[in-house]
Amino acid sequence: MLAYYSRGQGRGGHGKGSGTPLSADEERRRLRFPREGEVLGLVLGLMGGSRMKVACKDGKERMCRIPGKLKNKIWVKEGDVVIVRPFSIQGDTKGDVIWRYFPLQARILKEEGHI
């Protein structure tokens, strides 16, 4: 007799993302903060071609892109909170989006005064 297994099921058994959700305290501990040379930003608008306009916390507005290795992993919408790594050349106007916060994480950042 053959056993049939469904594809794409992770540890939870019901596809991607299943399992027990994290509490707000656990989410706060796992929060990723900007490192050296990175800045928080808010997505103002999508321009197409994996490019977007981002208002960064340092007061500058940058045209940012999603790097190729993250293009299919990160889905960014208008109003999302992201981490931007400014380019070494034209760093005041351009950068890469390297992290997107989930809504709960963004709310925690706002409550703690990081945004």
Domains in the chain, CATH or no CATH each = 38-111 (2.40.50.140)
Task: For 5-30, write each residue's pLDDT tens digit.
Answer: 445 555 555 555 556 666 666 666 67
Higher pLDDT, 87 or 7: 87
Worst-scoring range by mean pLDDT, 25-29, 77-81, 100-104?
A: 25-29
Report whether 67 contacts 98 (CB < 8 A).
yes
Cα–Cα distance for residue pair 51/48, rounded to 1 Å? 6
pLDDT at position 74: 85
pLDDT for residue 49 = 87
The pTM score is: 0.74
